[in-house]
């Protein structure tokens, strides 16, 4: 069950964001063509997103050829503070990326499943095929955080969505942790289709779940793995816990 991953420890959240930004810039540089990056929600990527908007980072990214997707969305209006892509837009995308390169999960559908179908169609059309080819990953880089129950994106432990093998995106009627709003999430086949999967794990409150993940427990976080490179960027507080 323990995936093949590289664990990199950094001192604090600022160093973690810097390391993530450097890896993102390198991933973009490695593909001279159109680049696809899948962002994540929650609080973990917020320092990184703010960093990407600074001149130092901003000038290192060829914005016109980078496309931005989101791994999961809370089924709330685009302007709602809980909306994951909304948070990324406010932090950096709206200032830096062409609007046509931003690919949010629409939440104005009748229900999360309808939104999931729409996003799956958008992903398939961007990818140019209905079937994922392991030799040609969907994303150049995919960011993830890990929840207190070991969930990733909105794939919660014990929920049917984690077992999905066909759909690329699915609706999740009820969340397992806060915020308790329905979700729309990419499934494991779509999340795992990336050249680099990059986890950001920071702070003492992540220590308990990080310990369980690194022990190889059967958790969604241990079922997410790129076929080429899976990296866990963790800071010292997450690794050592509050007692350090
Ligand atoms: C969401 C997520 C979710 C998140 C983890 C970690 O919509 O909440 O995308 O999977 O990444 O729960 O959340 P934190 O970064 O807030 O700890």
CA of 41 from ligand 1 middle (Å) equals: 5
Ligand 1 neighbourhood includes 152 CB (under 6 angstroms): yes
Cα-to-centroid distance, 145 and ligand 1 (Å): 5
Average pLDDT over residues 79-88: 97
Burial class (CB within 10 angstroms; exposed 0-12, middle 13-18, buried 19+) of 161: buried
From first CA to last CA, the distance across the chain in angstroms is 28
Confidence class for position 4, pLDDT limits 50, 70, 90:
confident
Cα–Cα distance, 193 to 120 (Å, whole number)? 14
- 49-66 pLDDT, tens digit per residue, is 999 999 999 999 999 999
Contact 229, 6 (CB under 8 A): yes
pLDDT in tens, 164-181: 999 999 999 998 889 999
Question: For 63, phi and psi rounded to 5 degrees?
Answer: -55, -30
Atom of ligand 1 nearest to the CA of 152: 10
Taking 80 as the threshold, does the pLDDT of residue 237 lie above it?
Answer: yes
How far is the C-alpha of 70 from the C-alpha of 61, rounded, in Å? 18
Tell me the mean pLDDT in the region 115-131: 98
Instruction: Express as a percent the part of the chain with pLDDT over 70.
Output: 98
Q: How confident is the model at residue 244 (pLDDT cuts 50, 70, 90)?
A: very low
pLDDT confidence tier of residue 2, bands split at 50, 70 and 90: low
> If you measure from the C-alpha of residue 81 to the centroid of ligand 1, how many angstroms do you get, rounded to a whole number?
14
- Does 185 contact ligand 1 (Cβ within 6 A)? no
Q: What is the pLDDT of residue 242?
A: 64
Cα–chain-centroid distance for residue 12? 20
148-166 tens-digit pLDDT: 999 999 999 999 999 999 9
Pairing of strands 72-74, 6-10: unpaired
Whether the predicted pLDDT of 9 surpasses 60: yes
């Amino acid at each position: 069950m323990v995936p093949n991953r590289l664990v990199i420890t950094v001192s604090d959240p600022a160093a973690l964001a810097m390391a993530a930004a450097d890896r993102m810039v390198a991933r973009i540089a490695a593909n001279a063509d159109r680049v696809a990056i899948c962002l994540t929600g929650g609080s973990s990527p917020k320092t990184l997103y703010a960093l990407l908007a600074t001149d130092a980072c901003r000038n290192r990214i060829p914005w016109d050829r980078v496309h931005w997707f989101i791994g999961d969305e809370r089924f709330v209006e685009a302007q709602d503070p809980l909306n994951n892509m909304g948070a990324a837009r406010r932090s950096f995308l709206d200032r830096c990326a062409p609007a046509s390169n931003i690919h949010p999960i629409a939440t104005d559908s009748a229900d999360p499943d309808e939104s999931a179908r729409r996003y799956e169609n958008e992903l398939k059309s961007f990818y140019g095929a209905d079937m994922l080819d392991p030799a040609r990953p969907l994303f150049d880089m995919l960011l993830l955080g890990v929840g207190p129950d070991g969930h990733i994106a909105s794939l919660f432990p014990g929920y049917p969505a984690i077992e999905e093998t066909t759909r690329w995106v699915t609706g999740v009627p009820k969340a397992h942790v806060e915020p308790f709003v329905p979700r729309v999430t990419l499934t494991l086949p779509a999340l795992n289709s990336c050249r680099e999967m990059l986890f950001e794990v920071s702070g003492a409150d992540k220590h308990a779940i990080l310990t369980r993940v690194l022990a190889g427990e059967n958790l969604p976080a241990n079922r997410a793995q790129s076929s080429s490179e899976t990296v866990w960027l963790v800071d010292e507080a997450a690794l050592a816990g509050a007692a350090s």
